[in-house]
Structure 1
Amino acid sequence: MKKKAATTKNIQPLVKKAAQVATVIDVVGDMPGGGKLLKLTGKSAGKAFPVLETTSNVMEYSNGDISGQRLSYRSVGVGTSIVVGAEVGSIFPGYGSAAGAVVGGIFGTAELLYDQFNQYVKPVMQQKVNNFSNQLKFAR
């Protein structure tokens, strides 16, 4: 039986899931009171997450699933979460990963809201503006 060649389409879900798992391990491993193994695993996961997330985003861009603007936005989100996590972690040891994860969550939520706005709200608003504009044109 011939093995199926690895492509970005069948690797991408695995990379995305690994990035999510890495985030959870990183946050849990960074909490005070965790064991040495958990802390070591958390540090490794914390370093792996940005690489996995960026890899997944680049794969999506390469497949044409996302635009260059979306790739840039996501890259800024990953970078911002790294910086915030590092800064918070340097001031409050043990909480940097959680802070970075929160920032990443905010970027993800903002992206989701933007998508929902463009899909549902923007067309309705555009229609209302067009109707109003047409009424002004034909009222003369």
Structure 2
Amino acid sequence: MTVTTPSRPATRQSGRGTSAVRGSNGTDVDVRLVARSIAQAALEVLAGTRPLQQLSRSLDPECYLALQHRAALTRKHAARVRGSQQPHSSPMVRSVRVCSISESICEASIVVAEEQRCRAVAMRLERLDGVWQVTALEIG
């Protein structure tokens, strides 16, 4: 089902032709690669294998605080339930789909496989000062 709004045409847009955009330094940046690396890093933060500070430039303040809170809850729950085991290990990105909303806004959906299950990650990326930044992040 397609929802039509004044700012978005009813036709479906493909993310394949519009995902590469010109960066501030003149190089082409593929939004799929940015989304892939941020999703991988976010799940590594939840697993406790990557420090959250490495994502400070990639996440807006609200997303940063939400991920920080969730990582703390995940570690606390894992320590209570499983002892000293890590909650997740070796997440691997399986697929990335990007939909370009405008030249400076994209939405991405990512499928990530872990040892026991697959997870979905959804994010909205906005280009601010030539840098893609996540303004909405949902991890399933």
Query: TM-score w.r.t. structure 1 length?
Result: 0.29
Q: Where is the strand percentage greater, Structure 1 or Structure 2?
A: 2
Q: Which has the larger radius of gyration?
A: 1
More helix by share: 1
Greater RCO between the two (CA within 8 Å, min separation 6)?
2
Normalised to the residue count of structure 2, the TM-score between the two structures is 0.29
